[in-house]
């Protein structure tokens, strides 16, 4: 998976978790929770979807790494290397 | 606050397999329109059910609906509609002094809650070899018993006492009764009380009724639920809900609310005879208790809405109880609502009462449909069969709901006459 595909993957998961939100204007370096309505239960949903779709286990100590889209790419890209992009909403 | 405060029904919110609001529900009850359809659920396969088709997103955001439960969605639909019907916009409720959100209670009767989510989670983790790291963090908030009422409070910003009453299939009446009690105790000023059912989404309910030999079968789904008919063969499970907006009469009159009926009596008791099988003696005692509470006699009741679920033995037990109370009551008419929608479990009592409330306005008794050949053991004086009947006076309704473990409930509602 390329870095661009990681962004697609994470946005696709967020679109499922926060279906009322407009994700088209998301900034890479701003905290996700400052840009859209996302609470701790939603965040756990994101972690769960990463586990289900890509087999990625994110330990609790690393949750802060996923606070921004840029952080997601940095943290997830190595873990998703060699994996194919799935669409959460079709999963 | 005096415990004898009179309690008015000022709004009705409902979803039924054959109607998304009171007007549509009533119209279909008078026109013989069934809401039972072919239905499939995992592990059980093809069966029949009463299915609701309301637009969940009318009152909920997508995220609320995704995070919540079907019972929650049904309760939210009913609560919003009840407030609208009562002429109380949600903003009125949330903003004092009209009805402070802290003084608004929500009481959802439930037959069961949590089966749906638990089955879903087990199904989910089974896909991952029962690795519990795949078990959802949403499981607990979705399965707690107060979930449907709690989701209503979140949706409407209500801060008063809100919880469920577990009463098997007698629960719909319990929600109404408890709302009345909370108003009479002066603990709330507005109550949303009734019942909800999401039971068609749990395969366990179907499988258990099937194992018990109590699940209806029929080539035509619309004919499957047929209380009192000789060919009845079991229950059609249904989803649905009904919440009544309840107010103390003096408050309702002060704001010039339309009053759809006055709850004048109720009774709840237990058979103490069997886990599953109903008991005529307990049912009779329950009806007599409600009449006594209402200070009415059997002759004063115009419409008796039965609970009969279309099982071979249960309908006879209930018919026996109804005969013993009402056989001498010349003007009392008897009907059944499950023949249209199946058994809406925790919603049944409230939903079926709601379907009969318009009798106060239209003077008609909706029939019990699908009676092609009346079972002689279920013959009842003035049983209204297949066609609506106009009656000279429609001032009082007695609604019954019974449930497993021998719980019985009865509610008496009277036309408001000043």
- B148, B164 Cβ separation under 8 angstroms: yes
Its CATH architecture, for the domain A3-81, is: Orthogonal Bundle (1.10)
pLDDT value of position B99 = 84
Residue B62: which of A20, A44, A57 has the nearest Cβ? A20
pLDDT value of position A89 = 58
Same domain, B185 and B290: no
Same domain, B93 and B228: yes
* Domain final residue, candidates B205, B223, B254: B254
SS3 track for chain A: CCHHHHHHHHHHHHHHHCCCCCCCCCCCCCEHHHHCCCCHHHHHHHHHHHHHHHCCCCCHHHHHHHCEHHHHHHHHHHHHCCCCCCCHHHC
* Mutate which: B66, B132, B134, vs A, most A CBs within 10 A: B66
Same domain, B350 and B243: no
Question: Token pair of B55, please?
Answer: 């637009």
Q: What angle do CA B222, B228, B231 make, to 5 degrees?
A: 65
Buried b (16+ CB within 10 A) or exposed e, A34-67: ebbebeeebbbbbbbbbbbbbebebeeeeeeebb
* Mutate which: B59, B63, B121, vs A, most A CBs within 10 A: B63
Backbone angles phi, psi at B72, to 5 degrees: -65, -45
Residue A44: which of B66, B128, B137 has the nearest Cβ? B137
Report the C-alpha gap between B305 and B352 in whole angstroms. Answer: 7
Say yes or no for a CB contact (<8 Å) between B134 and A18.
no
Active site (catalytic) residues of B: 169, 307, 343
Answer whether residue B31 is part of any domain.
Answer: yes
Residue B138: which of A41, A51, A52 has the nearest Cβ? A41
Q: Report the CATH number that the domain containing residue B143 is assigned in CATH.
A: 3.40.47.10
Report the C-alpha gap between B175 and B311 in whole angstroms. Answer: 25
**What are the DSSP E strand ranges found in B271-363?**
303-306, 333-336
pLDDT value of position A59 = 96
**Least Cα separation, residue A80 to chain B (angstroms):** 19
A19 interface with B at CB cutoff 8 Å: yes
Where exactly are the structural domains of chain A?
Answer: 3-81
Q: Which residues of B touch A (CB under 8 A)?
A: 61-63, 66-67, 128, 133-134, 136-138
What is the domain extent for residue B175? 7-254
Report the C-alpha gap between B249 and B269 in whole angstroms. Answer: 27
- In this predicted model, what pLDDT tens digit does every residue of B111-165 receive, in sequence order? 999 999 999 999 999 999 999 999 999 999 999 999 999 999 999 999 999 999 9
Q: How many domains does chain B have?
A: 2
Under-70 pLDDT residues of chain B: 1-3, 91-97
* Domain final residue, candidates B232, B254, B276: B254
pLDDT value of position B91 = 65
Same domain, B72 and B102: yes
Helix (H) or strand (E) holding B150: helix B147-156
> What residues of A are in contact with residue B59 (Cβ under 8 Å)?
none
pLDDT value of position B1 = 47
Answer whether residue B269 is part of any domain.
Answer: yes
- B247, B180 Cβ separation under 8 angstroms: no
Same domain, B248 and B270: no
Answer whether residue B1 is part of any domain.
Answer: no
Same domain, B231 and B191: yes
Report the C-alpha gap between B54 and B52 in whole angstroms. Answer: 6
Same domain, B270 and B248: no
């Amino acid at each position: 998976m390329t870095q661009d595909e990681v962004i697609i993957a994470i946005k696709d998961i967020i679109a499922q978790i926060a279906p009322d939100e407009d994700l088209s204007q998301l900034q890479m370096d701003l905290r996700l929770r400052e840009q859209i309505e996302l609470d701790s239960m939603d965040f756990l949903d994101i972690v769960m979807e990463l586990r289900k779709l890509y087999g990625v286990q994110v330990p609790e100590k690393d949750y802060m790494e996923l606070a921004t889209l840029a952080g997601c790419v940095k943290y997830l890209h190595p873990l998703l290397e060699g994996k194919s992009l799935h669409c959460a909403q079709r999963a | 606050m005096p415990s004898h405060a009179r309690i008015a029904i000022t709004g009705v919110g409902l979803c039924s397999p054959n109607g998304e609001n009171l007007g549509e529900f009533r119209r279909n009850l008078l026109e013989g329109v069934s809401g039972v359809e072919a239905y499939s659920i995992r592990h059980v396969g093809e069966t029949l059910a009463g299915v609701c088709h309301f637009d969940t997103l009318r009152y909920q955001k997508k995220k609320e609906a995704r995070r919540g439960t079907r019972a929650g969605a049904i309760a939210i639909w009913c609560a919003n509609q009840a407030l609208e019907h009562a002429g109380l916009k949600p903003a009125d409720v949330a903003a004092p002094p009209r009805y402070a959100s802290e003084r608004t209670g929500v009481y959802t009767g439930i037959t069961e809650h949590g089966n749906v989510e638990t089955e879903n989670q087990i199904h989910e983790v089974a896909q991952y070899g029962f690795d519990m790291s795949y078990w959802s963090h949403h499981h607990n908030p979705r399965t707690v018993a107060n979930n449907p009422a709690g989701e209503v409070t979140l949706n409407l910003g209500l801060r008063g006492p809100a919880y469920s009453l577990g009463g098997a299939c007698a629960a719909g009446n319990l929600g109404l009764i408890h709302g009345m009690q909370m108003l009479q105790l002066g603990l709330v000023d507005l109550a949303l009380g009734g019942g909800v059912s999401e039971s068609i989404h749990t395969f366990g309910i179907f499988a258990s009724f099937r194992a018990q030999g109590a699940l209806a079968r029929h080539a035509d789904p619309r004919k499957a639920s047929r209380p009192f008919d000789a060919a009845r063969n079991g229950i059609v499970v249904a989803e649905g809900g009904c919440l009544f907006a309840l107010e103390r009469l003096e408050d309702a009159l002060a704001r010039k609310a339309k009053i759809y009926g006055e709850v004048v009596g109720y009774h709840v008791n237990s058979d103490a005879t069997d886990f599953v099988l109903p008991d005529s003696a307990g049912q009779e005692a329950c009806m007599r208790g409600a009449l006594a509470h209402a200070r009415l006699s059997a002759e004063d009741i115009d419409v008796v809405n039965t609970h009969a679920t279309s099982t071979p033995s249960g309908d006879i037990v209930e018919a026996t109880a109804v005969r013993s109370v009402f056989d001498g009551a010349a003007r009392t008419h008897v009907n059944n609502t499950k023949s249209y929608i199946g058994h809406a479990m925790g919603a049944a009592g409230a939903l079926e009462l709601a379907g009969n409330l318009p009798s106060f306005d239209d003077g008609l008794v909706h029939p019990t449909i699908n009676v092609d050949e009346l079972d002689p053991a279920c013959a009842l004086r003035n049983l209204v069969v297949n066609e609506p009947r106009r009656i000279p006076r429609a001032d009082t309704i007695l609604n019954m709901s019974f449930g497993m473990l021998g719980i019985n409930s009865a509610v008496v509602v009277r036309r408001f006459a000043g």
